[in-house]
Amino acid sequence: MAQDTGGAKDAGPWIDPLKYLEAKPDLPKDTVETAKKIGPLTYTVLIDEKHLVSKLYNMVNVPTGVWINEKGRIVRPNEVAFVDDRFKNFTAMDSAPYLNALKDWVEHGDKSAYVMSEDHLREKLTANDPNIAQAAAEFGLGEQLYKSGHPAEAIPHFKEAQRLNPKSWNYKRQAYALSSEKDYGTTFRDEVIKSGGSKVYYPPPELPQAEKKP
């Protein structure tokens, strides 16, 4: 689920690198090689130009994962979801515990030790904060102005979204990517340091110790 205001133009090369070899020659070689190796995708990849999923699920960063069971109920809420180790140098986070938890859920379903209780889920998910909702509206207005040919006029609204929901990295990084960090008087690196470093930027998933099987 690509959270990309630029739509297929920006997200496309990462979904189907082989299709964009000419249009985007600077794609990392390992991305292209992996695409050749795995062939056509076996899962669904969607493009979310309006950051709708982030709005509906109160997400603040990428990658964020949510587990949804066969009945359409959330069983693990928003959390950092690395499925490989390509950013391990920055995150210092190993993807193996998350992947093992995921496999356990696939095998045991709602009985998995990694499925959260309803109270715990509600505590983590419910955030009906008017400032967060207003931030989403300011960000949406910024996107509309950007897409209708007013990128400079979009900036004050992107800044307002960041002020109202300072925890959202999506609002910061998407806005920087649409113009320049200079327009915001900061850099991504400085913002990560200011927030408390990569462990705050990517809080490790809350995974209970898996039960030892006899």
Partner 1 sequence: MKANVCSGLFLLFLLTALPATAKELHATIVYDDAATGVNAAREESDQLWITTADLKRATRFEVKPQGVCRDELCFPLPKSRQQDFVHKDSGASWFNLTAFAQLVHQPVAHDPALSTWYFGLRSDQRQMLSSLQAPDFTLPDLNGKRHSLSDFHGKKILLVTWASW
Q: Give the count of residues interacting with partner 1 (CB under 8 A).
A: 73
Q: Minimum Å distance from CB 106 to partner 1?
A: 6
Q: Which amino acid is at 135?
A: A
Task: Output the smallest distance, CB 47 to partner 1, in A.
Answer: 6
Is the separation of the CB atoms in 35 and 17 below 8 Å? yes
CB of 214 to partner 1, least distance (A): 26
Six-digit token string for 129 = 């904060």
Nearest to 201 by CA among 174, 161, 173, 179: 173
Q: Using the rule CB under 8 A, is 15 a contact of partner 1?
A: yes
Q: Which string of b and e fits 174-204 if b means at least 16 CB within 10 Å?
A: bbbebeebebbeeeeeebbeeeeebeebbee
Piece of the chain touching partner 1 by CB under 8 A; list 28-36, 85-93, 116-124, 197-205: 116-124
Q: Which residues of 102-115 are buried (b: 16+ CB within 10 A; e: fewer)?
A: bebbeeeeeebebb
Among 137, 167, 179, 184, binds partner 1 (CB under 8 A): 137
Which stretch in 30-38, 84-92, 147-155, 195-203 sits in contact with partner 1 by CB under 8 A?
147-155
Stretch that binds partner 1, among 86-94, 121-129, 194-202, 204-212 (CB under 8 A): 121-129
Rounded to the nearest whole angstrom, what is the least distance from the CB of residue 169 to partner 1 in the complex? 10
Joined together, the tokens standing for residue 55 give 């709005």
State the amino acid at position 37 in one-letter form: K
Find tokens 């320049």 and name the residue: 180
Closest Cα partner for 131 from 166, 99, 172? 166
Binding to partner 1 (CB under 8 A) within 169-208 occurs at 170, 173-174, 176-177
The distance of closest approach from Cβ of residue 176 to partner 1 in the complex, given in angstroms and rounded to an integer, is 7
Nearest residue (CB) to partner 1, 19 versus 199 = 19
Nearer to partner 1, 130 or 199 (CB): 130
Residues 49-108 that bind partner 1 (CB under 8 A): 50, 52-59, 62-74, 81, 83, 102, 105-106
Output the six-digit token pair for 68: 């949804």
